[in-house]
């Protein structure tokens, strides 16, 4: 039994949810999100709650039950509050600049790295912190991972791009004999 799936998903005021043709659509103050649902999970919307249940007793249906419950909670959280990830840049001369829908990173290469910010997301830079915000949790996390991948933190001095609060395990380096 899924502990997440058993709990009904509460729809807050100002949010509208509809389920038709295997697609769950959630509209809120920040925008609209959709999620395709598999036939293994049944979705019922009534009295400002979304209830999910496995359609049959297969192992896959029970596994997807909790997954789709979590995805539904993320849809509602996205259209009401939105999501954001913060990345820190550490290194002498390392900096970032956001202009419109482009993010330019100068992180020790011979050239600046220019990344296009995906549709529906916004990127801002304050000092050495890049903030990526949007309503789709998956898109925010994926773009943050793509930015981090440009220059991962190295284990000797910790230079590179890391998530805020991420701990880098340091190596000792060379020893003098």
Q: Which two tokens stand for residue 88?
A: 């820190």
Judge if 96 and 43 occupy the same domain: no
Long-range contacts of 111-119 (CB under 8 A, 24+ apart): 113/150, 115/146, 115/147, 115/150, 117/143, 118/143
The answer to whether 80 and 30 have CB atoms below 8 angstroms apart is yes
In CATH, what number is assigned to the domain containing residue 32? 3.90.930.12
In a domain, 113, yes or no: yes
DSSP states along 106-144: ESSSSS-EEEEPPTTEEEEEETTEEEEEES-HHHHHHHH
pLDDT at 39 over 70: yes
- Last residue of some domain: 43, 60, 80? 80
pLDDT at 177 over 80: no
Question: Nearest to residue 124, comparing CAs of 93, 143, 94, 102?
Answer: 102
CA angle 41, 82, 60 (to 5 degrees): 20
Domain ranges, residue 105:
83-163
In a domain, 15, yes or no: yes
- The whole model's pTM is what? 0.90
Question: In this predicted model, what pLDDT tens digit does every residue of 8-36 receive, in sequence order?
Answer: 999 999 999 999 999 999 999 999 999 99
Judge if 91 and 65 occupy the same domain: no
In a domain, 174, yes or no: no
pLDDT at position 147 is 96
Judge if 96 and 33 occupy the same domain: no
Judge if 89 and 156 occupy the same domain: yes
Question: In this predicted model, what pLDDT tens digit does every residue of 115-158 receive, in sequence order?
Answer: 999 999 999 999 999 999 999 999 999 999 999 999 999 999 98
Question: In this predicted model, what pLDDT tens digit does every residue of 47-106 receive, in sequence order?
Answer: 999 999 999 999 999 999 999 999 999 999 999 999 999 999 999 999 999 999 999 999
131 burial type by CB count under 10 A (0-12 exposed, 13-18 middle, 19+ buried): middle
- Name the band, by pLDDT with cuts 50, 70 and 90, for residue 1: low
In a domain, 172, yes or no: no
Number of domains in the chain: 2
- Last residue of some domain: 21, 45, 80? 80
């Amino acid at each position: 039994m899924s502990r997440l799936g058993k709990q009904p998903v509460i729809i807050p005021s100002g949010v509208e949810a509809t389920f038709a043709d295997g697609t769950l659509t959630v509209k809120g103050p920040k925008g609209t999100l959709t999620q395709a649902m598999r036939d293994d999970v049944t979705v019922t919307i009534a009295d400002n709650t979304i209830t999910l249940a496995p359609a049959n007793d297969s192992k896959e249906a029970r596994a997807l039950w909790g997954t789709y419950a979590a995805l539904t909670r993320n849809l509602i959280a996205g259209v009401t509050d939105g999501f954001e990830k913060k990345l820190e840049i550490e290194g002498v001369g390392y900096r970032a600049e956001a202009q419109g829908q482009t993010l330019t990173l100068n992180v020790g290469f011979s050239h600046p790295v220019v990344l296009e910010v995906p549709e529906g997301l916004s990127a801002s830079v304050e000092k050495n912190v890049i903030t990526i915000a949007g309503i789709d949790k998956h898109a925010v996390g994926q773009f943050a991972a793509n930015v981090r991948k440009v220059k991962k933190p190295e284990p000797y001095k910790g230079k590179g791009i890391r998530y805020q609060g991420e701990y880098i395990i340091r190596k000792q380096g060379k020893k003098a004999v």
